Amino acid sequence: MSLAAADAEEPIGVAVVGAGYWGPNLVRNFQACPEFHLRWLVDLDKTRAERVLGRYSTVRPTDDLASVLADPAVGAVAIATPAGTHLEVAMAALSAGKHVLLEKPLAATFDEGRRLVDEAERRGLTLMCDHTFCYTPAVLRIRELLRGGELGELHYIDSVRINLGLVQRDIDVLWDLAPHDLSILDFILPDNVSPVSVSAVGADPIGAGNSCVAYLTVRLSTGGIVHIHVNWLSPVKVRTMIVGGSKRTLVWDDMNPSQRVAVYDRGVDLAGAEALGSEERRDLLISYRSGEMVAPALAEREALRAMVTEFGEAIRGGRPALTDGRSGLRVLGLLEAASESLRNAGTPVEVKA
Amino acid sequence: MSLAAADAEEPIGVAVVGAGYWGPNLVRNFQACPEFHLRWLVDLDKTRAERVLGRYSTVRPTDDLASVLADPAVGAVAIATPAGTHLEVAMAALSAGKHVLLEKPLAATFDEGRRLVDEAERRGLTLMCDHTFCYTPAVLRIRELLRGGELGELHYIDSVRINLGLVQRDIDVLWDLAPHDLSILDFILPDNVSPVSVSAVGADPIGAGNSCVAYLTVRLSTGGIVHIHVNWLSPVKVRTMIVGGSKRTLVWDDMNPSQRVAVYDRGVDLAGAEALGSEERRDLLISYRSGEMVAPALAEREALRAMVTEFGEAIRGGRPALTDGRSGLRVLGLLEAASESLRNAGTPVEVKA
Amino acid sequence: MSLAAADAEEPIGVAVVGAGYWGPNLVRNFQACPEFHLRWLVDLDKTRAERVLGRYSTVRPTDDLASVLADPAVGAVAIATPAGTHLEVAMAALSAGKHVLLEKPLAATFDEGRRLVDEAERRGLTLMCDHTFCYTPAVLRIRELLRGGELGELHYIDSVRINLGLVQRDIDVLWDLAPHDLSILDFILPDNVSPVSVSAVGADPIGAGNSCVAYLTVRLSTGGIVHIHVNWLSPVKVRTMIVGGSKRTLVWDDMNPSQRVAVYDRGVDLAGAEALGSEERRDLLISYRSGEMVAPALAEREALRAMVTEFGEAIRGGRPALTDGRSGLRVLGLLEAASESLRNAGTPVEVKA
Amino acid sequence: MSLAAADAEEPIGVAVVGAGYWGPNLVRNFQACPEFHLRWLVDLDKTRAERVLGRYSTVRPTDDLASVLADPAVGAVAIATPAGTHLEVAMAALSAGKHVLLEKPLAATFDEGRRLVDEAERRGLTLMCDHTFCYTPAVLRIRELLRGGELGELHYIDSVRINLGLVQRDIDVLWDLAPHDLSILDFILPDNVSPVSVSAVGADPIGAGNSCVAYLTVRLSTGGIVHIHVNWLSPVKVRTMIVGGSKRTLVWDDMNPSQRVAVYDRGVDLAGAEALGSEERRDLLISYRSGEMVAPALAEREALRAMVTEFGEAIRGGRPALTDGRSGLRVLGLLEAASESLRNAGTPVEVKA
């Protein structure tokens, strides 16, 4: 994978749509990227766009999306509006021949997401999903270690993402937070491993109308298990992922900047278990590794900056982005399965192929 | 609850049965308790008992349980043998008129546990389960805060108990580790809250023959949710329990001796949600508390010592122990429900009343 | 202390001088402050100023300080150049009738600093030192607790500020890092406590030409002791300050965002020691408090933003800033004493009044 | 270094003198060591000895030291009485031909310590100082890494040992706590590095009569610096030692059982600095390593057990113990120098050869 800087071509004109929670981050990072020339910040509420840009910016605020899409200087559109609007806004941008970057989740439903993916592919345009965490140095390293075999076979993943979060009116905690974990999962899984089924349980103890605490289980094609805990009600912020492998186990603690990733040469080995008939003999073959821990040096780099760079490179190269529309679609498939399971008391739901 | 020292009566003669993993801890604590006079250490393998006692002890090792049960100087028996033997050994002790302390779990099955509880009650003997964690200063404080209402209504409990554990041949990780969490749950729940159903998922990625990673969900009568993660394969040792309440949320981190319990005045409040029809209005009433955290001073005291003391006091007082046979039985009920759910892909199983 | 937003008057025109390490932070924060209108970014190397401003800014880059000082729209100048140039640049700005903000340390020497303070006072202009840490929510709280008496009498302060730092050619680690600790000390000390003497030891184990590791001790007028450890060679970043008081002790851990400040009701009490003649009796009167810890809720707010706001308010109000030139001068006095002690193997040096 | 188990010879009869704070730990560990046969526990207060032994022990309590020293079955004496009594008790034991283990510090003064060392050497008896920390797996590893050259040249050591400690009547915090750090220093230093001078500052802010907070600086023959912070008044317990080397830097955090030792491949390199005349050129040659961190797997083993074993092996082998009387004497030399410096406002004091 190459995240190298773009070449000396003319920067790509870009417009950011949505000046809410995430938009300002996109504005800042597109401005910092030489690959792009940020031309517009669009919001239905023009004063909100003006406020985000401040008094010193030459970027133009507007509430007129149609004009922006008609602007030939704009080659790409980054959309940070609510998921329910993604289909309409992104489809308009694609129809106008613009490359599109979408905030997670890709769309409000799997079917809407599929329509966007199909349209982009039909037109040969780049459709990318801003799975920001995938561009953190930590996750890039995890991907490398897991896909490169250094952790061995994947045994289990346990992810915890809890915090005193913004309780939302229209979506539950699964749709708010689990896209992060599921997009990371999609990103790091080796090619020969895939999710098979999803189950989920949740609770709404405060009466918010949606689950505020939820637990999601994904079964993998290899027999491994992935478990995700998302929670809006925790007074402490925890962002931990354990990736258990047959050779080594990796612990990612995103709240510990001085040691985000730790790789443990510790674990249980079960020599020749498959060949054994009797429990007595198997028992003798369990052994424990208790080796050292290595915390690799990771650059401290803003993930969003790398994501924006990848968007530029995918456009230039005419290749799918690392987190392209199809990965956004797979995440939607897992989320829809999770929602269905949640409605059915945790009954496992098969993942759409 | 009183854990006061026993009075000046003659100490109770006691025998420990089982010189394996846990027996030596019982030996040490019974020796340190003036309420008891430790007379025997029994093990099928007498040399193992001798090794535990060492070269300087006046306590007698033996492999002859029958003689010990016939010893009129022995008033109580503490049993630290595998769960599969609990029914036989404990029933023999009760039949001999001895008070009985049992390692967790109380028995191999709910039915066996019930037979022991019934027998003890019929004979008017003390039957106690060594739910050691309930006697830690941390759990005693959690119980006080939750039952005393200082945390408000119970919203959720999230417990994580993971470590590179001894993979066992005969039981899965649920039966090995979850008794700790379930006994704590049973201990701290207010009287008007009870478990309604249990579901569980698990995986055996190393091919050990039993689940090595498992997740257990308990639904409470109040709509609250309890979730427990137990895992033998984690290279890091985590023992954390979050107890989320409507007023405050408590975090117990047993791996942090300098601050095991922290009570956060942080959370989400949803004023008057029940009276509202429209989502718009509800949204306005969500508010966030962001107050201080208080870490109460806790004594550093060995839990097992307090447990042994409670055993003595329950015998003397002719009253049920804090963690009596019935609490051990309730834990067995939850474990059996969890196992049934595990076999059925996580389908919730009702808890036996 | 009031940090309230400025009134609706015309914003103060401001120029930032120095586009190196710290200048960009000033640029960002002056832009975000409605009290100011940022007009110029000055650097000897104009392209560096251009790079900092980027392609989207309406702020003007220049290398012509004289023109900026002649610009009547500029009412204030913020100087982030090396300390050796502070006297010249700041004196020019004061002479042009501009209010001045200076990066720490105020000047290269105590005498240069005094000339700036005198000049500003003679002209009735605001002279402020950017002791950024004093404007963190943590330090503001520490000041309040210590000066408000909630910690009791000040017994000791122990500060550690170590990291793999930029080894500098022209100054040692004391002059690089200790200004932070000393300015905090100056900021939080109650009015009736003052530094009396300073001693310092250091080492240059890598042969850099200046101390890379240093320890500084300040004796207080009350008999208390302050100790500061600064170090460029540590692979781990530590920023901890313990403020020990007779009633409570506060621990500030700036690397722990979820719990930066903790106030412990733990300590040693020595009742009536002063009245005792015999050691035997004194011994009996030692007692230990082992109470709870409280971690107050602190806003997460950028200190530099509050500092810039204070600069505006001090100018508007015609009052000394919280960290005015005189506080910068006191810090210089401590630094010069430390350097003298360092040259004399740690012999204590009296602090200039 | 070999810590192998002793051979099958007759165990060495041993008596422990002193049933106070530390004595019970010696009793427990001598009982657990097959190399020894614990025969007596001696205390001026016989009931205290009885209490320590408890009701189940075959070890004999006594207040009659003379009889114990006359007992031919006793080959060794372990002394855990106050330092002021070491000379008398240990000299009596040596005179009776017994091998001697002494709690730290070896004696109340350097001269008393020397008399003991001389006497033991004259008689060919083992004299060992219980520098317990030297036998922790962490310190053994640090010694190996530093003396083996894996850390490179020693640049600095920074040690912090603070806690809410027992304020003592007869000694200050330096004599109470710094022996731990100084004995570790003596243990881990390579043969070609030695302490040259010591300076110390301290404070007694609570009026206890002795310093409760102290800072000690040791200059090494190589230009390196060692700094030790000891403190009885801290509400938090910190035990950290940073060992900075030219190749790697090691951090020992004894309060973090899951990762006590971490070796960082991070640091500052100064290529060819010694050969340079001009500051400009030197500046260009500073470079930074930012490599991985490795936390070696360490056994969890009781240090005291290894210390007792070493005592037995030194006796059997007729060789000096790893922490023999001479090492105890060197620690006394550093302590006396520190006290002299403390009385002289931190003036450095040369270390006795």
pLDDT the model gives residue B236: 96
Residues A171 and A294 in one domain: yes
Q: Characterize the bridge pairing of strands C36-42 and C12-17.
A: parallel
> pLDDT tens, C277-307?
444 444 557 889 999 999 999 998 899 999 9
Residues A126 and A196 in one domain: no
Exposure pattern of A326-349 as b/e (b: 16+ CB <10 Å)? bbbbbbbbbbbbbbbbbeebbbbb
Q: Which residues is D78 bridged to in the sheet?
A: D16, D101
Higher local confidence (pLDDT), B63 or D168: B63
Number of residues that this document lists for chain D: 353
Query: Does residue B256 belong to the interface with chain D, where contact is any CB pair within 8 Å?
Result: no
* Residue C4 within a domain: no
Q: State how far the Cα of D102 lies from the Cα of D89, in Å rounded to an integer.
A: 10
Structural tokens at position B339: 């196992």
Q: Using alpha carbons, select from A36, A332, A1 the residue that is nearest to residue A186.
A: A332
C-alpha distances in Å from residue A213, one per residue of B157, B201, C127, D282: 10, 17, 53, 58
Using CB atoms, which residue from A164, A266, A270 is nearest to B206? A270
Residues C103 and C203 in one domain: no
How many H-runs (helices) and E-runs (strands) does chain C carry?
A: 10, 15
| Interchain proximity A59–C55, CB inside 8 Å | no
Interface test with A, best of C56, C163, C238, C253 (most A CBs within 10 A): C56
**Contacts of residue B315, Cβ cutoff 8 Å, sequence gap at least 6:** B12, B75, B76, B99, B126
Query: Does residue D161 belong to the interface with chain C, where contact is any CB pair within 8 Å?
Result: no
Contacts of A59 in chain C (CB under 8 A): 56
- Residue C53, helix vs strand vs coil: helix
Read off the CATH number of the domain in which D224 is found.
3.30.360.10
C-alpha distances in Å from residue A251, one per residue of A49, A240, B131, B203: 40, 7, 31, 19
Neighbours of chain A (3+ CB pairs under 8 A): B, C, D
Query: Does residue B159 belong to the interface with chain A, where contact is any CB pair within 8 Å?
Result: no
Residues D283 and D202 in one domain: yes
Residue A195 φ then ψ, to 5° = -70, 140
Query: Does residue D292 belong to the interface with chain A, where contact is any CB pair within 8 Å?
Result: yes
Contacts of A215 in chain B (CB under 8 A): 215, 217, 227
Q: State how far the Cα of B198 lies from the Cα of B327, in Å rounded to an integer.
A: 17
Residues A100 and A168 in one domain: no
Using CB atoms, which residue from B55, B58, B236 is nearest to D56? B58
Query: Does residue D10 belong to the interface with chain B, where contact is any CB pair within 8 Å?
Result: no
Q: Which residues is C129 bridged to in the sheet?
A: C102
pLDDT the model gives residue A283: 52
Q: Using alpha carbons, select from D41, D54, D58 the residue that is nearest to residue B11.
A: D54
* Residue A4 within a domain: no
* Residue D170 within a domain: yes
| Interchain proximity D59–B57, CB inside 8 Å | no
- How many angstroms separate the CA of residue D13 from the nearest CA in chain B? 13
Using CB atoms, which residue from A265, A291, A297 is nearest to D290? A297
Exposure pattern of D312-330 as b/e (b: 16+ CB <10 Å)? bbbbeeeebbbbbbbbbbb
- The tally of domains found in chain C comes to 2
Contacts of A266 in chain D (CB under 8 A): 297
Q: Characterize the bridge pairing of strands A233-245 and A154-164.
A: antiparallel
Read off the CATH number of the domain in which C85 is found.
3.40.50.720
- How many angstroms separate the CA of residue A293 from the nearest CA in chain D? 5
**CB distance C68 to C76 below 8 Å:** no
Using CB atoms, which residue from B38, B56, B258 is nearest to D58? B56
Q: At what angle do helices A86-95 and A110-123 cross, to 10 degrees?
A: 10
Residues A282 and A148 in one domain: yes
- Model-level ipTM above the cut of 0.85: yes
| Interchain proximity C294–B293, CB inside 8 Å | yes
Residues B286 and B200 in one domain: yes
- How many angstroms separate the CA of residue B4 from the nearest CA in chain C? 21
Using CB atoms, which residue from A164, A199, A234 is nearest to B201? A199
| Interchain proximity A294–D294, CB inside 8 Å | yes
Residue C32 φ then ψ, to 5° = -85, -10
Using CB atoms, which residue from B262, B292, B296 is nearest to C297? B292
**CB distance A216 to B235 below 8 Å:** no
Which chain B residue lies closest to C289 (C-alpha atoms)? B297
Contacts of A32 in chain C (CB under 8 A): 54
Q: State how far the Cα of A308 lies from the Cα of A120, in Å rounded to an integer.
A: 19
| Interchain proximity B227–A223, CB inside 8 Å | no
Which chain A residue lies closest to C27 (C-alpha atoms)? A56
- C89 burial (CB, 10 Å; 0-12 / 13-18 / 19+) is buried
* Residue C328 within a domain: no
Contacts of C291 in chain B (CB under 8 A): 297
Interface test with D, best of B56, B237, B300 (most D CBs within 10 A): B56
Domain residues for A100? 12-131+303-321
> pLDDT tens, B287-312?
899 999 999 999 988 999 999 999 99
Query: Does residue D56 belong to the interface with chain B, where contact is any CB pair within 8 Å?
Result: yes
* Residue B338 within a domain: no
Residues D170 and D98 in one domain: no
Contacts of A291 in chain D (CB under 8 A): 297
Residue with tokens 């001389």: D118
Q: Which residues is D201 bridged to in the sheet?
A: D215
- pLDDT class of B276 with cuts at 50, 70, 90: very low
* Residue C1 within a domain: no
Query: Does residue D345 belong to the interface with chain C, where contact is any CB pair within 8 Å?
Result: yes
Query: Does residue A291 belong to the interface with chain D, where contact is any CB pair within 8 Å?
Result: yes
Q: State how far the Cα of C13 lies from the Cα of D122, in Å rounded to an integer.
A: 85
Residues D119 and D38 in one domain: yes
Query: Does residue A229 belong to the interface with chain B, where contact is any CB pair within 8 Å?
Result: yes
Residues B197 and B122 in one domain: no
Using CB atoms, which residue from B164, B167, B282 is nearest to A266? B164
Residues C24 and C127 in one domain: yes
Q: State how far the Cα of A83 lies from the Cα of A79, in Å rounded to an integer.
A: 10
* Residue B343 within a domain: no
Q: Using alpha carbons, select from B86, B135, B306, B341 the residue that is nearest to residue B218.
A: B341
- C63 burial (CB, 10 Å; 0-12 / 13-18 / 19+) is middle
pLDDT the model gives residue C276: 47
pLDDT tens track, chain A, 353 positions: 333 444 457 999 999 999 999 999 999 999 999 999 999 999 999 999 999 999 999 999 999 999 999 999 999 999 999 999 999 999 999 999 999 999 999 999 999 999 999 999 999 999 999 999 999 999 999 999 999 999 999 999 999 999 998 888 889 999 999 999 999 999 999 999 999 999 999 999 999 999 999 999 999 999 999 999 999 999 999 999 999 999 999 999 999 999 999 999 999 887 654 544 444 444 557 889 999 999 999 998 899 999 999 999 999 999 999 999 999 999 999 999 999 999 999 999 999 76
* Residue B6 within a domain: no
Using CB atoms, which residue from A262, A291, A295 is nearest to D297? A291
Residues D153 and D89 in one domain: no
